[in-house]
A and B are shown apart, each in its own frame.
Chain A
Amino acid sequence: QSVLTQPPSASGTPGQRVTISCSGSSSNIESNPVNWYQQLPGAAPKLLIYGNNQRPSGVPDRFSGSKSGTSASLAISGLQSEDEADYYCATWDDSLNGVVFGGGTKLTVL
């Protein structure tokens, strides 16, 4: 059971906009910045969003992050087939005194 709660799956058609939620608590998401990682099939995770809504160099602006209270969201607009991957949210938890991850969301492009 992960500390951060994500839907196990999400889907969309090419060109669509999809959002993935990440729910936490006052000791983690509400108090600390949220990062998102993308894990393509058979590959290592890759940083996608940091500091709630910042994109590293090279990440398309189709990807955006937001946070409100104890929840965070990742939005992907103009969905493409290569976006099919697992997505993980992560942040620091002040109570556990460590890094916590969401359980991951498998995105399928129909």
Chain B
Amino acid sequence: QVQLQESGPGLVKPSETLSLTCTVSGGSVDIGSYYWSWIRQPPGKGLEWIGYMYNSGSTKYNPSLKSRVTISVDTSKNQFSLKLNSVNAADTAVYYCARRVGGSSYKYFDPWGQGTLVTVSS
């Protein structure tokens, strides 16, 4: 059973880069049919898709964040990562990593990591 676990700093200063890692256990990130994803949730608010990497190198990002986001996969460590640069207070959120799976007619996020709170503050 695949499990995901986020890790990284819980506090980031404004204008700096947020960096998080998701460690995958019970399965491999080196499988082309999966989309390794990041989703965030500001405190007390709803979910926002950030983006994903698939096919061992292709990426797709939320247009509203595209200029600041980079998602990458490290197959040697069975991890994938998120970098969000030039952060501000609006980027304060719980960040979730998730696997996007499914066939040609449907796709969904499953499973999800437990989430990690990142606060942007000086």
Interface-side segment among A9-17, A20-28, A41-49, A77-85: A41-49
Taken together as a complex, chains A and B put the C-alpha atoms of A2 and B64 apart, in Å, by 13
B43 within 8 Å of A (CB atoms) = no
B49 x A33 contact (CB < 8 A): no
Which residues of B have CB within 8 Å of A101? 46-49
Write the nearest CB–CB distance from A110 to chain B, whole angstroms.
22
The answer to whether the Cβ of A98 comes within 8 Å of any Cβ in the partner chain is yes
CA distance A33 to B108 in the complex (A): 9
**Residues of A near any B CB (own CB < 8 A):** 2, 33, 35, 37, 43-47, 50-51, 54, 56, 88, 90, 92, 96-104
Kindly list chain B residues whose C-beta atoms are within 8 Å of the C-beta of A54: 106
Inter-chain contact B106/A98, CB cutoff 8 Å: no
Q: Which residues of B contact A96 (CB under 8 A)?
A: 63
Interface residues of B (CB under 8 A from A): 46-49, 51, 60-63, 96, 102, 105-115
Q: Which of A46, A98, A99, A103 contacts B112 (CB 8 A)?
A: A46
Partner of B46 from the list A44, A46, A98, A102 (CB cut-off 8 Å) is A102
Residues of A within 8 A of B46 (CB): 2, 88, 101-104
Q: List 27 A-B contacts (CB under 8 A).
A: A33-B107, A35-B106, A35-B109, A44-B96, A44-B112, A44-B113, A44-B114, A45-B109, A46-B110, A46-B112, A47-B109, A50-B110, A51-B106, A88-B47, A90-B108, A90-B109, A97-B63, A98-B51, A98-B60, A98-B62, A98-B63, A99-B49, A99-B62, A100-B49, A102-B46, A104-B46, A104-B47
**Complex interface: chain A residues within 8 A of B63 (CB):** 96-98
B47: A residues at CB distance < 8 A: 37, 45, 88, 90, 101, 104
